[in-house]
Amino acid sequence: MSDGRHVVFAAGGQRFALPLEDVREVVPAAPPFARVPRCGPEVKGGMNLRGRVVAVVDLAALLRLPPAAPGEPAHVVILEAERRALGLLVGAVHGVEPLAPDEEGAADAPAGAGAGLVRGVARAGGRSVALLDVATLESQVKALFGAGSARPG
């Protein structure tokens, strides 16, 4: 449906890719974000996108990667997830690039909190890129909010 085209971006010093059909749009990050109570540290806060409130989650923090250096360009990738909008705070956005499906494969996927987020590793523009799994991502974010509501304070 999207001819294997993915949106490629950087986060925590690594390159990641999301399928084009899962991305609603990409906007520049405009901190500060409105803090959301009872959430984990991965949740940066909420932002106003043309009247809609979007929750922003730091992908690097979610993947236990080092935080982005100050001054680096920051973007928020808005995901299309049912009726709820979810924003991923990432670094530079490299663009839309096609990924060959045969290059997909589970390799050196990060463990821990970010486990299962990476579906595989592909090559885009001669460089490796980690392919993120949108369903796992959404479930983990929901778990974040859920854990936040479950945990007191």
Q: Which residues bind other proteins (CB under 8 A)?
A: 1-2, 5, 7, 20-21, 23-28, 73, 75, 93, 95-96
**Min dist. Cβ of residue 49 to other proteins (A):** 12
Going across the sheet that includes 127-132, the strands are 93-98, 5-11, 14-19, 127-132, 118-124
Per-residue tokens: 92: 């530079």
Specify whether the CB–CB gap between 122 and 100 falls below 8 A. Answer: yes
Minimum CB–partner distance for residue 2 and other proteins (Å): 5
20 vs 113, beta carbon nearer other proteins: 20
**Nearer residue to other proteins within complex by CB, 43 or 90:** 90
Smaller CB distance to other proteins: residue 21 or 107?
21
Q: How far is the CB of 5 from other proteins (least distance, A)?
A: 7
Of all residues in the chain, what percent are helix, strand and coil, respectively (each to 5)? Answer: 20, 45, 35
